[in-house]
Amino acid sequence: MRATQAFIEQTGGPEVIQWHEVDLPAPGPVEILIRHEAVGLNYIDTYFRTGLYPAAMPSGLGMEAAGVVEAVGDGVKHLKVGQRAVTFGAIGAYSTARIAPAMQYFPLPEGIDSQTAAAVFLKGATVEALAERCAPLDAGEWALVPAAAGGVGQLLVQWLKARGVRVIGTVGSEEKAQLATQAGAELVFLSADPDLAGKVRAATEGVGVAVSYDGVGAATWEVSLKSVRRRGTIVSFGNASGPVTGVNLGVLAQAGSLFVTRMTLFDYYREPAEAMAGAAKLWEMVGSGKVTVNIGQTYPLLEAAQAHRDLEARLTTGSTLLLP
């Protein structure tokens, strides 16, 4: 099978993304050949492109895609030819087809199409890990979700609401505030508000939120510190505005003996059993309608560079797909 695949030879802006045509061989042992029907765009893709996350060069690009298995190598048991499958962890997803390790692809249940899967799997697995295992909250507790109108943000707000958690979202514009409200945020504030932390405190009767699920990074760190209740938790899981650096642990004491974790999805989906269980919970939430997937925009696969520009300029909402 002939395939079009993205690659980078150096780090930099979206212009470093290149494309080439390759002839794919038969898959080797414990590998599959998969034809992609949809590719997910995620902020982690920009981290590899810019060099924030290191990768050996030349490197593929993209972590999330779904499609149809065209061939399987010896030893592959959980996938069959003709079955649809999805991945969030196999770099090189920006491709029309590829050879990949079979264990990095998960079978899709009936009723979940490839576009939905590619739009939700990485973000949804992140949300499952955040809300169910990393920092679960009881019904009635307050949570802060910065960037609540983004792809992860909208899913996280929905998931927390399904658990009975009261959610305060922050967004960059009034237009995005509507999206966060529709997702289930009880209150939504503009992220540029100079009294943002004060408003979060006031909304929680001066106590603060139990958890700030902060995927933005440097720009929201101070707000998270000032918004979390005594002995509360900040879960930092992204660097959209740059990484949080130079943290003085004494600040955590001054803010009320706070807990902080830098969550990475792959540590929660490392073992096959827990990975399958997490994926099953995600498909259950999507299938039940408790979590709906908002595909905010699509781009042709070969326009991935423009999609990166729009993502970094915060011009996207919900999930973004690249379509082969």
271 or 323, which is more confident? 323
In order, the DSSP letters of 53-92 are: S--PSSB---SEEEEEEEEE-TT--S--TT-EEEESS-S-
Phi (first) and psi of residue 95, to 5 degrees: -160, 150
Band of pLDDT at residue 316, cut at 50, 70 and 90: confident
155, 179 Cβ separation under 8 angstroms: no
Whether this model's pTM surpasses 0.75: yes
> Percent helix, strand, coil in the chain (nearest 5)?
35, 30, 35
CATH code given to domain 2-121+282-323: 3.90.180.10
What stretch(es) of the chain map to CATH 3.90.180.10?
2-121+282-323
What stretch(es) of the chain map to CATH 3.40.50.720?
139-262
- What pLDDT does 89 receive? 83
Tell me: the pLDDT tens digits for 126-161? 999 999 999 999 999 999 999 999 889 999 999 999
- What pLDDT does 319 receive? 86
In angstroms, the CA 201 to CA 232 distance is 13
- What pLDDT does 113 receive? 94
Q: Is the pLDDT of residue 240 over 80?
A: no
**Average pLDDT over every residue of 82-93:** 93
The CATH class for the domain spanning 139-262 reads: alpha beta
Helix axes 174-183, 151-162, angle to 10 degrees: 30
Tell which residue, 273, 73, 265, has the closest CA to residue 152.
265
Tell which residue, 268, 308, 316, has the closest CA to residue 44.
308
Tell me: the pLDDT tens digits for 91-117? 999 999 999 999 999 999 988 999 999
- What pLDDT does 243 receive? 80
- What pLDDT does 264 receive? 92
Tell me: the pLDDT tens digits for 37-71? 999 999 889 999 999 999 999 999 999 999 999 99
In angstroms, the CA 254 to CA 164 distance is 30
**Average pLDDT over every residue of 191-218:** 95
- What pLDDT does 1 receive? 94
Sheet holding 166-171, edge to edge: 187-190, 166-171, 142-146, 209-214, 228-236, 259-262
Least confident of 10-14, 17-21, 105-109, 314-318: 314-318
In angstroms, the CA 132 to CA 148 distance is 18
Q: What is the DSSP letter of 8?
A: B
Q: Which strand (E) or helix (H) includes residue 159?
A: helix 151-162
Tell which residue, 68, 130, 56, has the closest CA to residue 92.
56
Percent with pLDDT over 90 in the chain: 87
Q: Which strand (E) or helix (H) includes residue 286?
A: helix 272-288
